[in-house]
Amino acid sequence: MQPIKRWDYAGEGLDEHDLPAAPLALVEQWVQDAVDRQAAKGDVPEPDAISVATVDDAGQPHVRTVLMRYLGPDGPGFYTNYTSRKGLDLEINPNIAAALTWPPMFRAIRFVGVAHKMPVERSEAYFRSRPYGSRIGAWASHQSQPAATRAQLEEAVASYERKWPDTGSGEGVPLPDFWGGYVVRCDELEFWAGRSSRLHDRLVYVRTGDGDLADAGSWRIERRQP
């Protein structure tokens, strides 16, 4: 272990009075702030990187990083292989937790909720926005399965490239039926803002109604100790 370097978390903090009644606008604002920070200082290279935790049939949690490629009133979302570890976990237990973390900004958002498969049209639209190589990669990778060698994966890529040659646009490579998005219907969202002496601000939206992340009547806000 390196000698411990202790940073004082001199963040801006977060005050109850600055919070909207519904959480969506604040999630959007913090994501935009991270995007702007990357543009200005270059120290948040993947502002959308989000840790996603699922639990398998033995109760064992698994966590991995994906990209939050969707954010709407129905929740944050990401795209993946439905037969991956996370996909199989969610099939038997849709409970999910996720966290966006921006260390240079002393900020994080945690989401707790239930994952739902996105409508296929939405997955289709996103898949169509991906470059050719990423589309072929989705077909070639049996995500989370053992792979004997790297060469095996490259051969799978080559065979799909023969099947759907690169025309320059990626059009023609269809959406695999085992690939798509999940959206997280949140029951709780925590906004964490680092402050000095570990006395951080933690403000949590807790679901009180059936509305979405933009519905002011469906949330109460609770401060938690750091």
Cα-flanking dihedrals φ and ψ of residue 156, to 5°?
A: -60, -40
The DSSP code for 23 is: S
Among 10, 25, 39, 67, binds ligand FMN (CB under 6 A): 67
Exactly one of 85, 116, 117, 202 binds ligand FMN (CB under 6 A); which one?
85
Phi (first) and psi of residue 88, to 5 degrees:
-65, -40
Q: Residues with Cβ < 8 Å from 209, sequence gap 6 or more?
A: 215, 217, 218, 219
Q: Is 144 in the site for ligand FMN (CB under 6 A)?
A: yes
Q: Which is nearer to ligand FMN, 86 or 207 (CB)?
A: 86
CB 180 within 8 A of CB 87: no
134 binds ligand FMN (CB under 6 A): no
Backbone angles phi, psi at 63, to 5 degrees: -130, 145
Find, among 176, 183, 180, the residue nearest to 52 by Cα.
Answer: 183
The reply on whether position 79 binds ligand FMN by CB under 6 A is yes
Residues 25-54 that bind ligand FMN (CB under 6 A): 46, 49
Min separation Cβ 154 and ligand FMN, Å? 18
Half-sphere exposure (Cβ direction) of 22: Cα atoms closer than 13 Å: 17
198 is catalytic: yes
Residue range at the interface with ligand FMN (CB under 6 A); choices 12-20, 33-41, 62-70, 102-110: 62-70
End-to-end CA distance of the chain: 26
Q: Which residue of the set 135, 162, 198, 224 is catalytic?
A: 198
- What single-letter amino acid sits at 68? M
Q: Is residue 66 within the footprint of ligand FMN (CB under 6 A)?
A: yes
Q: Is 84 in the site for ligand FMN (CB under 6 A)?
A: yes
The footprint of ligand FMN (CB under 6 A) covers 46, 49, 62, 64-67, 78-81, 84-86, 143-144
